Each structure stands twice: as structure tokens, then as C-alpha cells.
Structure 1
Amino acid sequence: MRERSWSAVPVVTEPPTGGPGGDGRRFFEVPESGWHTLVAWAVAPGHLVRCLDLRPPEPVRVVRERRGERTFHVEERTRGDRSAVDGAIHDHLTCARVPSQPCGYRWFIALPEGVDDADRFFGLFGTASREAAREADPRRERDAMIAVADSLYGPPA
């Protein structure tokens, strides 16, 4: 079985977005959520790259509800916001018995042949994931995602 390890994922100097990389593969960025990160783990290092996240933090949209009325405003992202996102990802991975993902990187998945965009790609994982989630067993969700990844990229080397 191919080894799955965050540290085995190559580090690139620039985000591989916008078109084919040097090897002809097209990449898309992994959203910051535990579920999406678990998909990245299932895909394995041969189909992932990462780069340092040097972007300024994006603002946070805050929604407040008072007396049935919603208001929206934008605030700068705080260290606590960053910690909450990282903590939620860590908790999801821990429940699935997957090691924590290193912080400070942007992660990118290579689209498999026959899949044109990230929405379609994640949709393929959604069905398997929902069935495992009904049983409330994150390890089964992980195993189902690995099976989908192996069907998309071929058997492990």
C-alpha cells in the first residue's frame, strides 16, 4: 500500500492554479475543512502538492442575530479564528485516526483523468462519505474515501 504521510507531499514554490502544471496535471486548492482535508489524506502524496501560505489573512464575515434581525459585517481574522479552523480540522482527522496536517500551507489536489472540476471531484467522495457518516464511524468514512481515491487514481503503487 502506498504510504500516506503529510510530510511526503512535495512543497512547491508557487500555487499550481490556473492550468496544467509542468507535468500536465491540473490542480485545485483544498478548502479549509476537516472533511476536505480528509479527502486530501485519502488522495495520498502522489496527487497532492503544497506551498507556504504567504497570503494575508482573509477577512471574516460575522453574522449577528438580535430579536430576529440579522446583521452582517466584516472583521479582520484573529489568531483565535485561525486556531478554531485548525482545531476543527485536527478534531475531524483525529476522529478518523489520521495524523494532524501541518499548519502554514495551502494544499492542492491534482484532478484525476475524466474529472473536470473540484465540485465534481468532491461530489464523488460525498456519496461514500454520507453512507459512512450515517454509521457515525469516522474511520469508515476515511476508508470509504481511500477506496474512492484509489478508484480515481488507480491502485496503490
Structure 2
Amino acid sequence: MTNWNLFLVVDAEPVELSGGPDRIVLLEGRRLLSLPDNGYPLLLAWAAGPRRVVRTPVPIHPDQEIVDAFVNSYLVEAGVPPRPRGFAWYLDLPDGVEPPDVWRAAGGDGARGSSVDLHRVRGAMERGMTALYGGELT
């Protein structure tokens, strides 16, 4: 995959099914995990690919330049292009898949504060998403 433009834009308002840190929404019949606008979840979106991720337009936050700097530097360090601004991102949750399954598959149980090679994190996420969803993701 070479570009964020392959990710579907859905111009609809998601319906919240559950709140909290692992917010689940319904959007055009799809059950989705809301991905916060920060580096790790958006690296996960890239690893899952455009067949498993959709985005919706959202207003630009007043501190968007600061958010962009942090998010995009994380993505670039992982070998991923900067993500476009002005979108909320969502990952498919098929029947039987819950947010803890996604984070476990992504390798989200690493030690906090340890040095990280983001290229390795990205590779682990890609393998985890392929295993979780089965087969090719792009």
C-alpha cells in the first residue's frame, strides 16, 4: 500500500454502541472500533489496510498542528506516510472480534517506557492483523 487515499471516506455520522477507551460505533451497517488520532492506533489502521478501515470527515481541532506533528512523526518513523488531517478513523470489528482481540493481535501488550523500533512494531501489527482477519488486508 502506498497511500492513505485508498481508505474509504464515509460521509455519515457514526452511532455509538459503547463508550470508553475502546469506543465501538455502527456506521452504515458496519461495527467499528474508533481509533484515536494518535500514532499507535493510526499505525494499526495502516497495518489493517483500506479493506478494514474507514474514515469520516471531522472538524479540525484548534491544536491540530501539534497533533499532526506528533502523529505524523510517529508514522514516518515507522515507514508510513503522514496521514491526512480532518478525519476520524475506524477499524472493522466482524462478528466475534472485540477490541481486546484487536489490541492483542497488534501486540499492544509491550513493556511501557522501553525503547521501540517502530518498523518492527509495524511488521508485528501487519502480521497480527493478517492473522486476526485472515489473508491479505490491502
TM-score, normalisation: structure 1:
0.69
Pairwise CA distance, 1:135: 5.9
Give the counterpart of 1:152 among 132, 135, 138.
Answer: 132
Unaligned segments of structure 1, at least 5 residues? 58-77
Give the structure with the higher percent helix.
Answer: 1
Give the counterpart of 1:82 among 61, 64, 77.
Answer: 64
Equivalent residues in 2 for 1:67-146 (5 A)?
Answer: 78=62, 81-116=63-98, 118-125=99-106, 126-127=108-109, 130=110, 136-146=116-126
Structure 1 SS opposite 2:83: coil
Equivalent-residue separation in structure 1 for 2:132 and 2:94 (angstroms): 6
RMSD after superposition: 2.4
Equivalent-residue separation in structure 2 for 1:27 and 1:4 (angstroms): 23
> Who is 1:38 aligned against?
43
In the alignment, is the contact (CA less than 8 A) between 1:49 and 1:108 conserved in 2?
Answer: yes
Q: 1:33 to 1:20 in 2, by over 3 A?
A: closer
Pairwise CA distance, 1:43: 0.7
Residue type at the aligned position of 2:116: A
Pairwise CA distance, 1:115: 1.7
Unaligned segments of structure 2, at least 5 residues? 17-24
In the alignment, is the contact (CA less than 8 A) between 1:9 and 1:46 conserved in 2?
Answer: yes
Equivalent-residue separation in structure 2 for 1:31 and 1:139 (angstroms): 21
In the alignment, is the contact (CA less than 8 A) between 2:32 and 2:93 conserved in 1?
Answer: yes
> Who is 1:6 aligned against?
4
